[in-house]
Amino acid sequence: MATDIGYDWRPLDPGQAGAWADLLAAVEEHDHSEEILGETDLIEEFADPNKDFARGSIAVYDGATMIGHSVLIFREAPGAVHHMHEWGTVRPEFRGQGLGARLLEWSQRAAIGLHTDLYPGLPLALDGACLVRNTEAMELFAAQGFEQARWFHRMTLELTSDPPRPAEPPGVSITTLTAEHHAAAMSVRNEAFGDHWGSTEMSPQAWAHWLGYAAFRPGFSFIAHADGAPAGIVIGHEYDAYTQATGRRELYVALVGTRRSARGRGIASALLGHALAAARADGVRWASLEVDADSPTGALGLYERIGFTVADTWITHRKALLAG
């Protein structure tokens, strides 16, 4: 597929993972978003049940160099409105010539096509995100009719000494998240995030894919039982590509959740304490996580009390595409 600006456009496939990783590395060097994914990480994306790369992805090439991409992520449990997400970027030296606008326009058309087959008759909205300080992307979303919808913080913590590990609350036991706990952990996740903005249930297939990432660290992941029932989880990731690029190991706290009926007992704090202590004991010296700035559970305050500080802020932009 060719466009009038002279570049080659084609759907992404696993054979392009190396070129894709090179594009993201160039973007990271310029934008400093701390989102570093390697070829292995990107190959795993092609097994995601919430992505259709043949119809919902595009890569833009200048010769052999990938200079832009867009991937659509759809929902398995869309709710009253299907909120599809767009993940895209443009290589820094190719910005300012309209390529980002063309990619976002393509994404909207492709989203409508995918959605119509998946959920005919249901309203559709498309989300996209960028750093607050990325003025070019902010202006692009606004020009395309997207509205600012939600703010998310990236928070970091330097593990300069052994972090305090809160005592397990009365009636609560915390153990390493092994395979025998995966189904229970999924049920905790789905209930814990049922009242979170933009969250929908994960299917067993999506959950298995997510826990199958090479970055998943069972030793940094824990499940809490309260009065004998699964009550909370923490999931830890560590990305080898990040370590190679930065020279430092970092625990990425991918998920912390507590069942609504078990909130207010200190379970989330205890789970985080276990994850941070396990990572520190293994030689990890940094931790990071992302949090909804308006989380209904007060998660931002919890992380600040532990010692995390805001390093960056992202904005999710949203545009209604179909009224249903």
115 & 173 share domain: no
Structure tokens at 281: 């004991």
In a domain? residue 147: no
User: Is residue 284 helix, strand or coil?
Assistant: coil
The span from the CA of 322 to the CA of 202, in Å, is 24
Which residues form the domain of 238?
155-314
Are 47 and 177 part of one and the same domain? Answer: no
The answer on 309 and 160 residing in a single domain is yes
Alpha-carbon distance of 72 to 114, in angstroms, equals: 9
Residues 280 and 164 in one domain: yes
Query: Cα–chain-centroid distance for residue 93?
Result: 26
Residues 6+ apart with CB under 8 A from 61: 7, 8, 9, 10, 19, 67
Q: What is the pLDDT of residue 62?
A: 96
Same structural domain, 130 and 227: no
- Judge if 26 and 122 occupy the same domain: yes
> What tokens were used for 59?
């890569």
pLDDT means per 10 residues, the chain with 324 residues, are 71 98 97 94 97 98 97 92 97 95 97 96 97 96 97 95 76 95 96 87 94 96 95 98 95 96 92 95 96 87 92 97 90
Contact 274, 287 (CB under 8 A): no
* pTM for this prediction: 0.93
Dump pLDDT digits (tens) for 61-114: 999 999 999 999 999 888 899 999 999 999 999 999 999 999 999 999 999 999
Residues 117 and 164 in one domain: no
Give me the number of domains the chain comprises.
Answer: 2
Q: Are 226 and 280 part of one and the same domain?
A: yes
Query: Is the CB of residue 232 less than 8 Å from the CB of residue 265?
Result: no
Residue 249 lies in a domain: yes
- Residue 241 is encoded by which pair of tokens? 């590509």
In Å, how far are 42, 176, 239, 288 from 213, measured between CA atoms? 10, 17, 10, 18
Give the other-Cβ count within 10 Å of 150's Cβ. 16
Q: Are 134 and 105 within one domain?
A: yes
Residues 115 and 227 occupy one common structural domain: no
Where is the domain boundary, 104, 139, 174?
A: 139
Query: Do the Cβ atoms of 174 and 271 come closer than 8 Å?
Result: yes
pLDDT of residue 211: 94
81 SS3 class: coil
Q: Which residues contact 263 (CB under 8 A, 6 or more apart)?
A: 297
Residue 145 inside a domain? The answer is no
Dig out the tokens for 253 from the structure. Answer: 């706290």
Both 106 and 232 in one domain: the answer is: no
Residue 189 belongs to a domain with what CATH number? Answer: 3.40.630.30
For residue 22, count other CB atoms closer than 10 A to its CB. 14
In a domain, 1, yes or no: no
Are 209 and 73 within 8 A, CB to CB?
Answer: no
CA distance 82 to 125: 6
- Written as six digits, the tokens of 25 are 């590395």
Residue 266 lies in a domain: yes
pLDDT at 2: 40
Q: What is the pLDDT of residues 28-44, one digit of tens each?
A: 999 999 999 999 999 99
Domain closes at, from 139, 168, 203: 139
317 and 148 Cβ atoms separated by less than 8 Å: yes
198 and 270 both lie in a single domain: yes
Of 243, 241, 231, 236, residue with least CA distance to 219? 236
Cα gap 122→211, rounded to integer Å: 30
